[in-house]
Structure 1
Amino acid sequence: MDTAMQPQGFVAKLLADRHSVPFSIALHLVPGAAIVGVYAFLAAPLVRAMEFPIFLAWAIALAIVLFPLQLFLLWLGKKKTGRYTMQGIVHYRDKPLARRKVVWLGAACLVWMTVVSLALTPLDNLVYDWFFTWVNYQGAGPDGATYLLGYPHEVVLTTLLICAPFTGFTLPLLEEYYFRGFLLPRLPQLGTWAPIVNTALFSVYHFWAPWTVLSKLVFLYPGVWLAWKNKDIRISITMHPGSALLMTLVGIIALATGAYTM
């Protein structure tokens, strides 16, 4: 681009190769606050009026915030290159690793995230009971199924089928583009602390489930570190959206076949 056309002001600050730590903290956490706001003032009243499980409200709130956030990244690409693109905006997409290595590293992280997240449920229970019983979101609790309780089987299954394409893959994918592809590479001054800080802030970003911060640090960090170390976002994509898709499919199949009842 011509120098005279270079982005200025806040846009230039966003596009910089390095974000200050305070600025990065804000960029990590503001979307989470926006999700809670959308949930409280729009999605939750709508879903309650529809008499659907409150899980649907969180899915709506996430979609309302994360889809525009993705469009914002494309808009930044337009400001930088003159066309709507993630090239130069979302990093770690140059595929430096061989596909076979990505597959086995990603699969290992997927298994780690799935197994460890389930194994650490008692930790989430403990943290919730000690510190977060005051949280009064409908369905709040350490067990993710609490967002679906109290509704007929058919309504729960319908809700999961509606949400599956979004919460089961697309929304976690958008989170990876933003948190791992856009924010993480712009903390080079932190060195090896960058993936730790990114994982911690991403865990806190989930304001709707603060009792899971510690467990998220444990089961997310390996995939984040490997994506950072190898500069290949495909690893964390395989881990995070991959695990979400696996658990969503297993849950739907279990409910549909009657293997699990709410």
Structure 2
Amino acid sequence: MNTQRPTATPQAIRPNRIAEVLLADRHSVPLSIALHLIPGALIVAVYMFFAEPLVLKLGYPPFLAWAIAMGVALAPPELGLLLWLGRRRNGRFSLRGVLHNTGKPISRGKITALIAALIVWMTVVSLALVPMDNFFYNHFFTWIQYRGAGGSATTYLDGYSHNATLISLALCLPFTGFLFPLIEELYFRGFLLPRLPQLGRWAPLFNTVLFTVYHFWTPWTYLSKVIFLYPAVWLVWRKKDIRISIGMHPGTTLLMATVGTLAVLFGVMP
């Protein structure tokens, strides 16, 4: 007599209407706008009501407060949503079918050269446009009350001791330099951008502009961000290869964050 018990099978995950809408091949424009902008609003709220008071009380620059706000309101909502959708779709934590533009259609040699060129583009253009950012801040955005607000990225560090600045940069380096930009690319270019087929060739511009507006904490940099980000977003849309923007965005921020941290460490920057 066979007394072997039947092998248990994983329980199927019940359909979820929200997940079905989000995993559809097409998002409506209003839905896409909300998905682009809500994380940015959450980041500002966490900064204003929690991170800034905490960090300033401890005597550290507001740069660290923004990193904390992103750790609370960027990583969990964006990556958490992607993982939740992956579990709803696949029955496990997997991004298969959640992210698109992951087929790696470009050869390794071409993608390496393309990413290197885009890193140079983003670095040079973003630095060259700092005077424009300062102009927009000084003429239109001085009313913004964020501590350390200003056209230059270093204003969030100005006026603090060498040790406080160095500790803030070192703590933030792996997060603001690499992890957070990586999550942004997975969310904005791997999840949101491909679900706008109805916009045709306007999809990359739509995605770039909304990603720029999502940075509510630096509205004076909107134009410069569109200029130096759009080529990579367009190429991801055109070539259907998310490695392009992943290489450029986290690659550039990691490079610049590392150089900035080393400059403070060795006294090149105060």
TM-score, normalised to structure 1, is 0.96
Aligned twin of 1:83: 92
1:164 aligns with 2:173: yes
CA contact (8 A) 2:209 2:226 kept: yes
- Contact 1:91/1:182 (8 A) holds in 2: yes
Change in 2 beyond 3 A, CA 1:84/1:23:
same
Q: Which amino acid aligns with 2:17?
A: G
Q: Residues 115-159 of structure 1, C-alpha deviation per residue, up to 9 Å, x if partnerless? A: 000001111111112211110100011111110111111110111
Q: For residue 190 of structure 1, what is the aligned residue in structure 2?
A: 199
Q: Separation in 2 of the partners of 1:25 and 1:225?
A: 18
Q: Which moved more, 1:87-96 or 1:230-239?
A: 87-96
Q: Which letter does structure 2 place at the counterpart of 1:123? A: M
Q: CA deviation at 1:5?
A: 5.9
Divergent runs of 4+, >6 A: none
Counterpart selection for 1:150 from 123, 136, 159: 159
Deviation at 1:50, TM superposition (A): 1.2
Find the residue that maps to 1:89 and give its secondary structure.
coil
Specify the alignment match of 2:145 in structure 1. Answer: 136
2:212 to 203, 226, 232: 203
- Give the count of matched residue pairs: 258
Alignment counterpart, residue 42 of structure 1, candidates 50, 71, 74: 50
In the aligned structure 2, how far is the partner of 1:59 from the partner of 1:104?
31
Matched, 1:27 2:27: no
Return the letter of the residue paired with 1:38.
V
Structure-1 separation of matches of 2:85 and 2:146: 34
Q: Is the 8 A contact 2:40 2:74 kept in 1?
A: no
Q: Distance in 1 between matches of 2:175 and 2:262?
A: 17
Where 1:96 maps in the other structure, the secondary structure is coil
Q: Is the 8 A contact 2:177 2:254 kept in 1?
A: yes
Give the TM-score normalised by structure 2.
0.93
Structure with greater Cα Rg:
2
Structure 2 alignment gaps of length 5 or more: 1-11
206-215 or 246-255, which deviates more: 246-255
**Structure 1 unaligned runs (5+)?**
none
Structure 2 distance, partners of 1:204, 1:7, is 33
Cα distance in 2 for residues equivalent to 1:27 and 1:17: 15
Helix, strand or coil: the match of 1:85?
coil
Match of 2:15 among 2, 7, 13: 7
Partner of 1:53: 61
